[in-house]
Amino acid sequence: MHLGSINNFALFFGLITDARLGAEDRSLSMNHYKNWLRSTNGRVSSLAALTMSLLILLSGIWGIVALSQQTIKLATQEARDNWEKDQSFRGWATRHGGVYVKPDARTPPNPYLSQLPNRDVVTTDGMKLTLMSPADMMSQLTREFEAMYGIKGSLTGQILTNPENAPDDWELKSLKLFDKGTPEFIEQTEIDGEPYIRFMRPMIMTEGCMKCHSHLGFKVGDIRGGVSVSIPLSKYFSTAKISRDRLLLSHGILWIIGLTTIAFVSRYAYKLEAAKKSAAKTAEQARLRLTEIIDIAPEAIITIGSDSKIQLFNQGAERIFGYKAEEALGQSIAILMPDRFRKNHHGLVANFEKGPENYRLMDSRKDVIGLRKNQTEFLASASVSKNKTDDETLFTVMLRDITDSHAADIARRKALNEAEKANKAKSQFMASMSHELRTPLNSILGFAEMISKQVLGPIGENRYRGYAEDISFSGKHLLDLVNQILDIERIEAGKYILDKEPVLLTELFGECERLLKNKATENYISLTFQPADKLPPIHVDRRAIFQVLINIVTNALKFTPANGAVHIHAEQKAMQTIIKIADTGIGIPKSKLATVAEPFTRHRQNPMQAQEGVGLGLAIASALVELHGGTLDIQSSVGKGTQITIALPESETSASAA
C-alpha cells in the first residue's frame, strides 16, 4: 500500500478520535494531527491501526466463508442421514418381500404388481389385504415426511413401471452419472425457486428386488435407479445469517475497541512526548531564570572547580568583592581571601570533597573573613555545597557581608544585657518594696483593728474608732495593691506555679457572692450567680480562679451604675467550661478593647469621676486564665454594658485530668 494512503487513513483515524471538537477547533486539530503524522509515534500508530483493520477484515471474510461452508456441510450431512434412514426402511421392507396392508383410497391395489399372483390376499377371518412394494412404501413415507418437515425424498429410475416416479432433470443427470460409475452426487440447487441441497445415490438390485422388478429384465447387481434426498436450505441460511450478523458485530466491536485502544495509546504517547519536550523547554527556561536569579541575588554566589578556579561570579559577588565578573572568572578563589587563610584552603576543600556531606556552613565554627579588590577585609556569613559531575566536582559558595548586621547584633546583645540587668534590678526592688511595705502595713493593720474592736477597753471619743476603721481600710487597700503588683510580677517572670485540684464552681460562686453581695447592695446593683445544673468539677488552681472571678466581678460592680445588674453564668459546652460575667455598666469603647487587659490600664468613661485601683485586676485575671490554657474574651458596647467570657479547655476539667 502506498505510504500516502496510510497517512490519509491515519489522519482520518486521528480526527475521528477528536469527534467532540467543534468546527473551529477541528481546523486546529487537523494541523495538530498533521504534525502528529510526521512523528515516529504517528507513523507507528497509523501502521498499527491499518494492520489491525486488515487482520480483522481478513478474519471476518474467513469467518463468513467458513460459516457458509459449515452451513452446506451441515445440510449435506442431514441429507446423508436422511438417505441412510430411507434406505434402512427400504431394506427392511425388501427383506420381508413387501408389506400387506388393508387397501383404501390412499393405498389401493398396485396395478403395476398385477403380475404377482399373491398381490391380493384374504385372511382366514375374511380381511382383504394388498401388497405394498418397498418402493411404494418408501414413496408414501417420503411424501408424508415432506409434508411434516419439508424434506423431499424420491425413488426413481430410467426404466419405469410407474410414470409418477419419473426423474426430474437433476435426477436424470445424476442417474446418467451413476451409469458412468459415479458413486453419489451432491449439489446445491433450487426447487420451485427455493434453495436445496440435493443428494442422490444409485439403487442396486438385490434378491429382494427381483420379486417386483425381474420382469423388466434386471438382474441382481444392476443399477435399478436412484434414491434422492432434498434438504431445504432456508432454515440453514436463516441460522447462518444470525451467526454472520453476530460475527460482523463482534468484529466491528473488536475493530472499534482496537482503534480506540491504539488511539488512546497513541495520544498518550504523543502527549508523553509533548510533555517531555515541554519539560525540556521548561527546564531550559528554569535554567535561564535560575541564571537570572543567581545573577541578581544580593548574596555573592561563586562556583569553583576542583582546581579552585572561579567558574561563576554573579552580580552580588561583584558588589561585595569589587571585581567585575570578567576579572574574576578563571582566577583562583584565593584572590577573595586574606593571605593567612590561603595556606589551609586546599586542604579544607579536599576534605570536604571526600566527606559524606553535600553542604557545610562555613561560619558555624569560626568567623569567615573576605578580602575585597581594594584589599580591605570584611566579616561574612557563608555556606558551601558540592555537586559531583562526570568530569569534576563543583563547589558553590553563597556568601553575604555581615559587617553591618554583626555590629547591630552586638548592639542588640548589649541592649538585651542592659534590659536583663534592669529587669533584675526591678525584681529586687519589688521584693525589697514588698518586704518594706508589708512589715509596717501589717503593724498598722493590726493596731487599727485592735482600736476599732476596742480590745484594750472603750474609746472615749467615737470618732477615733471611725478613724481607726479608715486606717484599716486604707491599709488593706494598700496591701492588696502590693499583692497585685507582686502577682503580675510573678506571672511575667514565669514564677507563678499553679496548684491544681478539683473545684466546684458552685462553691467559688458562693464565696464570691458572700464577699461581694454587700458592695452590690450598697450600690443598688443586682448581683446574681447562676451555674448550670450538674456542672462537673474543674481541675484548676482554686485561689487563682477565685481571684479571676473576684477581679472581674469587682470591676463589673465598679463600672455599673445604680439600678444596674451583674450576672454570672457557667456551663459546659463542647468539652469546655464556659464562664460569662455580664453587666449593664458604662461599657468600653472599641478603641480601648485591645488594651483594656494590659497592666496599669484603667478604664474611666467620665474623667471627672474617680475610680479606685491602678488597673491590674483585669490584667491579672487574663494572665491567670492563660496560665490554665484558657481564653478570656471581652465584648462591650458603650452605654449598654460589657460581657467577659472565660473558656477553660477540656484539659482543665477534672474528668479529663482523671
Q: Are 122 and 190 in the same domain?
A: yes
CA dihedral 384, 388, 393, 398 (to 10 degrees): -20
User: Is 90 exceeded by the pLDDT of residue 604?
Assistant: no
Q: Is 262 exposed, middle or buried (0-12, 13-18, 19+ CB in 10 A)?
A: buried
Helix (H) / strand (E) containing 103: none
Take residue 568 and report the three cell numbers written for it. Answer: 454570672
User: Is 60 exceeded by the pLDDT of residue 653?
Assistant: no
For residue 572, the domain's CATH number is 3.30.565.10
Give the least confident one: 9-18, 340-349, 355-364, 420-429. Answer: 9-18
pLDDT of residue 657: 40
Q: Are 259 and 198 in the same domain?
A: no
pLDDT of residue 20: 46
Kindly state the average pLDDT of the residues 390-395. 83
Domain that residue 441 falls in: 408-486
Give the least confident one: 39-43, 270-274, 310-314, 468-472. Answer: 468-472
pLDDT of residue 433: 57
Q: Are 56 and 133 in the same domain?
A: no
Domain stops at, among 359, 386, 401: 401
Give the least confident one: 155-159, 310-314, 520-524. Answer: 155-159
Does some domain include residue 421?
yes
- Greater confidence, 5 or 596? 596
Q: Are 514 and 590 in the same domain?
A: yes
Q: Are 258 and 210 in the same domain?
A: no
Does some domain include residue 287?
no
Q: Give the burial string for 625-646 (b: 16+ CB within 10 Å, else e).
A: bebbebebebebeeeebbbbeb
For residue 365, the domain's CATH number is 3.30.450.20
pLDDT of residue 658: 41
Does some domain include residue 39?
yes
For residue 105, the domain's CATH number is 3.30.450
Enumerate the β-bridge partners of residue 573.
576
User: Is 50 exceeded by the pLDDT of residue 33?
Assistant: yes
CA distance 170 to 450: 154
Number of other CB atoms surrounding residue 341 within 10 Å: 15
| Tens digits of residue pLDDT in 531-580 | 888 888 999 988 888 889 988 999 899 999 999 999 999 999 888 899 99
Q: Are 234 and 244 in the same domain?
A: no
CA distance 509 to 483: 22
Does some domain include residue 90?
no
Collect all residues with Cβ–Cβ distance below 8 Å to 61 and sequence separation of at least 6.
Answer: none
Collect all residues with Cβ–Cβ distance below 8 Å to 484 and sequence separation of at least 6.
Answer: 614, 616, 617, 620
Q: Are 115 and 183 in the same domain?
A: yes
Take residue 418 and report the three cell numbers written for it. Answer: 542592659
Strands (E), 340-405: 359-361, 368-371, 377-388, 393-401
Does some domain include residue 103?
yes
CA distance 615 to 397: 56
Start-end of H helices in 193-338: 210-213, 234-296, 315-321, 325-328
Domain stops at, among 355, 381, 401: 401
CA distance 347 to 75: 99
pLDDT of residue 358: 83
Does some domain include residue 545?
yes
Q: Are 450 and 525 in the same domain?
A: no
CA distance 249 to 20: 24
Does some domain include residue 59?
yes
CA distance 318 to 658: 66
Domain stops at, among 385, 401, 417: 401
pLDDT bucket at 364, cuts 50 / 70 / 90: low
DSSP 205: P
Q: Are 231 and 258 in the same domain?
A: no
- Greater confidence, 650 or 503? 503
Closest CA to 226 of 198, 252, 247: 198
Number of domains in the chain: 5
Q: Are 508 and 476 in the same domain?
A: no
Position 110: which residue type?
Answer: N
Does some domain include residue 275?
yes
Q: Are 575 and 536 in the same domain?
A: yes
CA distance 58 to 255: 12
Collect all residues with Cβ–Cβ distance below 8 Å to 599 and sequence separation of at least 6.
Answer: 488, 615, 616, 619
Q: Are 228 and 268 in the same domain?
A: no
